[in-house]
Amino acid sequence: MAYVKNLFDQNFIQYASYVIRDRAIPEITDGLKPVQRRIIHTLIKTDDGRFTKVANVVGKVMAYHPHGDASIYTALVNLANKELFIDKQGNFGNMFTGDTAAAPRYIECRLRSITKDILNTNPRITEYVDTYDGRDVEPVSFQAKLPLILIMGAEGIAVGMSTYILSHNIHEVIEAEKKCLRGEKFQLYPDFPTGGLIDVSDYADGLGKIITRAKMDTSDEKKIIITELPYGSTTTSLCDSIEKAVKNGKIKATSIQDYTSDKVNIEIKLQRGVYTKDVVDSLYAFTDCEQTIYCNLLVIKDNMPVQMTCTQVIEYHSKQLVGILKKELELEKADLMEKLHLRTLERIFVEERIYKKIETQKTEEGVYKAVKDGFKPFEAELIRPITDEDIDHLLRIPIRRISLYDMNKNKQEVKAINDRIKEINKLLKHLVDYAISWLEGIEKKLDSATLKRKTKITNINAVDVKSVVKRDTPLKYDEKTGYLGTAVSGGNEVLKVTPYDKILYVRKSGIYSVSQTPDKLFVGPQLRYCGFADKESLSKVLFTILYRDPATQYVYIKRCKIEAYIMNRDYFFAPDGMEILHIDTRKNFSFQLNYVKKPKVKTTKESFQASKYEEKSLKAKGVRVAAKEVQTITIQEEKQKIGELFDNVEE
């Protein structure tokens, strides 16, 4: 057993680590999950500018992704619908209606040119590793120049953790990064392609929550038109929630029509006598027209899951952008220096006729030595010492090219190289300014439609469902069966309730409880009280309890109010072991004690007024009414009606 337990623990840890790092949680460096990264890597590798069948792309991605074609196809469609990296052709679904994309054999895609600008694929900068079968290589993570994790958003559930990152407007993200590079303050808020309204008061920089609402046209007092969706909804799910609310009587509408195509258009026609202003709050309260979204910005950073804020992500990517641009400039400068070195070698080799010195050589060693000796007088002009590889390059120059060598053209090339090197040196000294100019340049390449904010930020006072719903559901009590609830068929109606009310009920035994409005709950016969358990209602109800001590037969009276409780828990009005004789909610009533008959005792009964006794706390003991043994009690006033028993709050 110990061996099995250790084996399970070890394998579970490996599985959890794999799911967290390699499947569910995106990488901070490029904001992508492994399947997304492999899709983009495949498109970059096979890019020829033409559209390709998605089925073909999926097949090629399977060389890198070992989890089947279905997950690849779904991820590719979702990535294409972000409209940043992939151009699409055909039916890729409808984000408004929730309609799925066509089969992969019918739709096509291709890489957008801007992808290579945003993602650095240079193997001298981006680390590559072997694929799962060792036949190819794939990037560990792209070196992204933009914080894609914020632009595209992400969600995923791993073992013991999850991430929910909302998408942000790319223009605002770029502006935030520019401000960060300048050392200025910035603030980021979500933006969704479906539009709608959001309240970001509790966004907490990506770790809090937002309230999102549908945008409605309420200009017609008899008709409501939904023109933009709240985040996380589709027209199908929204219409379903509205139809459910209508069926349950929460919203009074005669028809719900969905005319959505490339724009959202849901038309709700109201019943006669019902107007738009009466229904809007109910739509927010009882349907998906208003939703609360909780965020959790969890990413993989340095191979570990880390919770970050939007500000921290921007700061991280600002440093990463500067680092990538620096590496690119340094590599370009190194390549130019190498190119300049070769141009200098070629010029000296031809201009000084060093190639003539190899004509008399009989061996390869002699040739190499002759070339090296020929360059000794010109070592000061060389950028670095000459190597055998340099000599190989010179010896491969065709005779035709040597004879037609253009010295002026060589000088122009050398001048252009030197000018670019000077420009690079200048950029390396002002990397922050260069990074800002790069961000401005990439923004110009983006489609103007993607730069516009689609979701409007506003202050939303969340609708309290309890304040909107009407108390119109009968709560019945059947004394014969002992059942209380909204689903009880027989008995008498005791209250009009809502599903959100808390109900206090007191049994004849003196036990009381508080629960949500019950459908059908057994409370026993002779229920003594039933009413609302909110503070306002309870503050108006004074309970009078008459109980007897079985040991002494003395009767005690206790007058109190219920001020606090725990839901679905039984409480007892009297001390343990006491016998409850009567429970009343009237402010005043008379009761008679019938004493145990004894010899030489003339007084056999005595009357009392309940109002003469003071109110005490719920936990206090009762006051002894008389120092005599009591056999029975009689409530002298007229017996309460059923309605009085169940709710005397307004008395």
CA distances (Å), 651 to each of 50, 347, 537, 586, 642, in order?
81, 111, 11, 8, 15
What 3-state DSSP class applies to 83? coil
Helices (H), 256-386: 276-286, 310-351, 364-375
CB 293 within 8 A of CB 212: yes
Tokens 């670095």, located at residue: 384
Q: Six-digit token pair at 268?
A: 């709700």
b/e string for 144-167 if b means 16 or more Cβ within 10 A? bbbbbbbbbbbebebeebebbbbb
Distance CA 516, CA 466 (A): 13
Helices (H), 183-308: 235-247, 276-286
Q: How many residues does the chain have?
A: 651
CA distances (Å), 24 to each of 36, 62, 156, in order?
11, 18, 5
The terminus-to-terminus CA distance of the chain in angstroms comes to 69
For every residue of 569-630, DSSP letters joined together read --EESSPTT-EEEEEE-SS--EEEEEEPP-TT----EEEEEGGGSPP--TTSPPEE--SS-E
Q: Does 556 participate in catalysis according to the annotation?
A: no
- Percent helix, strand and coil across the chain, each to the nearest 5: 35, 20, 40
CA distances (Å), 586 to each of 104, 528, 609, 641, in order?
74, 12, 12, 12
> From the candidates 106, 132, 275, 294, which is the catalytic residue?
106
Tell me the catalytic residues.
Answer: 106
